[in-house]
Structure 1
Amino acid sequence: MRWKTADYEGWGRAHKARGELARPERLSTLKTLIAEEPAPAIGNCRSYGDASLCNNGRAIDMTRLDRMLSFDALTGVLEVEAGIRVGEIARLFAPKGWLPAVMPGTGFATIGGCIANDVHGKNHHGAGSFGQHVISLTLLQGGKLAVVSPKKAPDLFKATIGGLGQTGVIVSAKLQLIPCKGDVIMVTERRAEDFEEFLALLDASTATYTVGWIDATAKGLSLGRGILEEAETGAGLVPPAKKPKSVPFNAPAFALSPPVVKLFNAAYFRRVPERGRTLVKPISDFFFPLDRIYSWNRLYGKKGFHQFQCVVPIKSAPALQEMLEKIAHSGLASPLAVLKRMGSGRAGYMSFPMEGYTLAVDFPNRGRAEALITRLEEMTLTAGGRIYLAKDALTTGARIKAMYPDHAKWAAAVAKADPEGSYVTDLIRRTNLRTA
């Protein structure tokens, strides 16, 4: 039996789906499925909202199509099937001196998902987005395979990178890995006492990898305080990464109550000495810190959570400061909040990045959170920024179309690639995104 009814959900757990899933293990089976009835492809469902959901419909789970097809040890060019996890590539190739050029915050993201969302990492200011390191990809459309690259079918390539799976099923990709010194990483941590100091540290950083944790509960003179991490790969011996732990049940509501979060954030900020410090870690501990806790999304309880992530131009940094003020006074912030500097690199029409600063904050799924996120989205639009669809669960199509200047080009390319709407997912339906 190819199709089985299943319940599945986005990582934020605020959106859920029930429908038929197929899990092909061979390309031949996948081609047969698509030829009979095209359906959208999904991976490990690590997008936070409904980008990977198809409620009351069919979807193809690509996670069993996870083979490595070829590798050139001289050039670092790796060809893989779309279902392989980015963390698995890092684990296998870092000891050999190669890493995926761009990695998101979880190693469980599949390569197909990384392409469909044109993910960014802790080195975006220097390396750009994931799609900029995709040499070519293979799409399956109506049972037929097509190799797509920036030179061969550039319009289709730009519509596929960051295109949320709307041009067809991504079967495989040829990736350019980047050299690394080994499978350990040297991390320097510094405190930033307020928002202005944080931005100054980000702007002055020359490190390959930078990321900032920000205390979203801090107010007054401490508004925007946090910890900046700068990192470089290295070689040497460190204790092996600890075995992942698991959250076995949904946490009660008081676990993330405002007093608890405020106390946790204060302690987390002070764990770094005033003078800073340098640590040597396994690379997975730096790139994928939350992967050490399986099912960490249960910490937000059975109702789940929303993540708001925006990017605003450098000149609009005051808008981020105003957002942080609203978040701090809302009493809804969680310990998970990130601030980063982004470069201009993006590979697709609907790619999220722009040169500026990106802020990501998690909120428990409570009634007031939706109103707060709506206001933050409006502020983002006014500031000339955009929000990240891989994290979104609430926005409207009108806002997205106003934020993404190449939306019309994307919609036209998608209409040409999939005129029947076979690859529409819940996010696309919710936002009516394929309408120009």
Structure 2
Amino acid sequence: MRRELSGWGRVPRTDCAVIAPRDEAALRAAIATGPVIARGNGRAYGDAATQSRGTIEMRHFNRLLAFDPETGQVEAEAGVLLADLIEAFLPRGWFPWVTPGTKFVTLGGAIAADVHGKNHRRDGAFRSCLDWVEVMQQDGSVVRAEPGDDLFEWTVGGMGLTGVILRAGLRLRPVSTGWIRQQMVPAPDLATAMEVFERDTGTYAVAWFDCLGQGASLGRSLVMLGDHATPEDLGEAQRAAPFNIPRRRRLKVPMDAPAFALNRFTLKAFNALYWRAGLRKAGESLVDWDSYFYPLDTIDEWNRIYGRPGFAQFQCVLPLATARPGLEALLKAISASGQGSFLAVLKRLGAQESRFSFPMEGYTLALDFPVSPKALQLLERLDAITVDHGGRFYLAKDSRLRSDTLRASDPRVGAFVEMRETGPRYRFASGQSERIGI
């Protein structure tokens, strides 16, 4: 069957031959047709999970296989969503050790992108909670790989290009409530926000920032620090049912927003309102887990707010030594362009040594831009600033990076391509890998 597919950014759109195997035999037959790429829930933003000649949908591989209540290890198939893990295990006192900003990603997708969360500085990326992965390779064989094995190290963060991830064993985090003890810290500028990150010793930290701020307000931010609450932090009624949280009302974007709805004036008004709302919430409060980790997950199809042309997310990480001047240069370029973003996020990342994963010690910046010729020109400028400051790019969010830009930003590309030449390149390829030459 052929179907038009895209990533969460809705661009590029690709006419794909879609295969949805229900067992390993059917999956093995699909791989033999090559080139193919596995696809989970379609939450990569660009073309990392589309292949015109063969896109393998893995959502039928969605079983929870085993759980060890002593260690918190779950064995699960690659099509299981993080939302499924939370629904099954949070009432038992377990939560994902690492989670990105949406719970609607599959386990296979989280491994392929080596996703990171608000706790990377302290706990690392998704790799840190993985005990093993099972991968179907180009010859149809299934291999279990553990940390330190070449297959494991290239698969975690390898964007699905080493084979099809089938199953994994991962550890969950013990928690005693479903609440987060949050501290909202308004920061009038980028320097102050970075100071908050540098002195924080808690589990989670993330900042929304005003990307249109200028002068003394450049990078003004709301830094949200968090730790898992204990029963002692809760009120009497909450302690009686510590994992019961208020059900959030689900909303849905009913149609594509018109192009004129997103402009400098609406962005400036939104940012001013959001900043003032954050000031009113300054200090400590209790926030339920869903609101803290996944604020956008209650808005179905929120990607439609950017209109029919779709949007591109820019996400880079800058090394600690050049993070401040690099961030200032990026923010000045964005502010001067007038093409700010509603969803502007800053996080502090910790040290990480890995074969091809995104994180490095420093600061990561993420912004969304409606696709337009002017926005694409700005993104080229932001790419150049990132490269000039020793940064690199998050392939899970990429939809338009050039091959030469990738190579200028990441010296690991050569080794990754060399590994791929041994066989996976001819069986596993995505629209993204063909576009950027990996």
Q: Same fold, TM exceeding 0.5?
A: yes
Pick the TM interval, shorter chain: over 0.9
**Equivalent-residue separation in structure 2 for 1:355 and 1:36 (angstroms):** 40
| 1:218 and 2:213 aligned | yes
- Residue 11 of structure 1 corresponds to 8
Structure 2, unpaired ranges of 5+? 239-243
The 5 Å alignment of 1:318-337 reads: 318-337=325-344
Superposed displacement of residue 125, structure 1: 0.4
Native 8 Å contact 1:346 1:352 kept in 2: no
- Do structure 1's residue 79 and structure 2's residue 61 form an aligned pair? no
CA separation of 1:167/1:343 partners in 2, compared to 1, >3 Å: closer, same or farther? same
AA paired with 2:24? L
My pick for the range that moved more, 402-411 or 139-148, is: 402-411
1:311 aligns with 2:307: no
For the residues of structure 1 that align with 2:421 and 2:143, how far apart are their CA atoms? 17
Residue aligning to 1:254: 260
The corresponding residue for 2:284 is 278
Pair 1:194-2:189 in alignment = yes
Q: 1:432 aligns with which of 430, 434, 437?
A: 437
> Could you tell me how far 1:169 is from its partner in structure 2?
0.5
Q: CA deviation at 1:239?
A: 4.5
d(CA) in 1 for partners of 2:276, 2:136: 51
1:206 Cα deviation after fit: 1.1
Asked if 1:47 is matched to 2:44, the reply is yes
Task: Choose the corresponding residue for 2:307, options 301, 304, 325.
Answer: 301
Q: Is the 8 A contact 1:241 1:284 kept in 2?
A: no
Distance, in Å, in 2 between the alignment partners of 1:375 and 1:388 is: 17
Instruction: Determine helix, strand or coil for the equivalent of 2:98.
Output: coil
Cα deviations by residue, 1:130-155 (Å, 9 ceiling, x for unpaired): 1222111001122211111124xx22
Match of 1:344 in 2: 351
The answer to whether 1:144 aligns with 2:150 is no
Instruction: Report the equivalent of 2:387.
Output: 381
Please state whether the residue corresponding to 1:45 is helix, strand or coil: coil
Residue in structure 2 matched with residue 403 of structure 1 by the alignment:
409
Q: Which residue of 2 aligns with 1:365?
A: 371
> How many Å separate the matches in 2 of 1:51 and 1:275?
38
Q: Is 2:185–2:222's contact at 8 Å kept on the other side of the alignment?
A: yes
Aligned to 1:92: 88
Structure 2 match to 1:183? 178
Work out the percentage of aligned pairs sharing the same amino acid.
Answer: 38
Residue 157 of structure 1: aligned partner: 152
SS at 1:177 equivalent:
strand
Instruction: Give the letter for the 1:338 counterpart.
Output: V
- Aligned with 1:272: secondary structure? helix
2:161 aligned residue? 166
Distance 1:162 1:281 in 2: 31
Deviation at 1:35, TM superposition (A): 4.4
Q: What is the identity, as a one-letter code, of the residue corresponding to 2:202?
A: A
Structure 1 contact 87–107 (Cα < 8 Å) conserved? yes
> CA 1:168 to 1:90, structure 2 compared with 1: closer, same or farther past 3 Å?
same
Q: State the AA in 1 paired with 2:145.
A: V
Q: 1:354 aligns with which of 352, 360, 364?
A: 360
Tell me, in whole angstroms, the C-alpha distance in 1 between the residues paired with 2:350 and 2:247.
Answer: 31
TM-score w.r.t. the length of structure 2 is 0.93
How far apart are the structure 2 equivalents of 1:279 and 1:395? 40
Find the aligned partners of 1:98 and 1:272 in 2 and give their Cα distance.
30
Segments ≥4 residues shifted beyond 4 Å: 35-38
* Structure 1 counterpart of 2:26: 29
Work out the CA distance in 2 between the residues paired with 1:29 and 1:393.
Answer: 30
Q: Distance in 2 between the 1:401 and 1:388 partners?
A: 13
Could you say what secondary structure the match of 2:396 adopts? coil
Q: Which amino acid aligns with 1:328?
A: S
Report the 3-state secondary structure (helix = DSSP H, G, I; strand = E; otherwise coil) of the residue aligned with 2:296.
helix
Decide which moves more: 209-218 or 277-286.
277-286
**Whole-Å Cα distance in 1 between the matches of residues 74 and 335 of structure 2?**
44
Q: Which moved more, 1:25-34 or 1:45-54?
A: 25-34
Q: Which amino acid in 2 is paired with 1:7? A: E
- TM (norm. structure 1) is 0.94
Shift of 1:254: 2.4
Farther off after superposition, 15-24 or 67-76: 15-24
The size of the alignment, in residue pairs, is 425
**Displacement of 1:346:** 4.6
One-letter amino acid of the counterpart of residue 24, structure 1: P
Distance in 2 between residues matched to 1:415 and 1:284, nearest whole Å: 42
CA distance in 1, matches of 2:99, 2:187: 25
In the alignment, is the contact (CA less than 8 A) between 1:41 and 1:165 conserved in 2?
yes
Cα contact 1:129–1:346 (8 A) shared by 2: no
RMSD (Å), alpha carbons: 1.6
Aligned equivalents of 1:39 and 1:302: distance in 2? 27
Taking a change above 3 Å as real, the CA distance of residues 232 and 384 of structure 1, as seen in their structure-2 partners, is same
* Mapped partners of 1:360, 1:38: distance in 2: 31
CA contact (8 A) 2:34 2:428 kept: no
CA distance in 2, matches of 1:59, 1:166: 13
User: What's the secondary structure of 1:84's corresponding residue?
Assistant: coil
Rounded to whole Å, the distance in 2 between the matches of 1:133 and 1:404 is 25
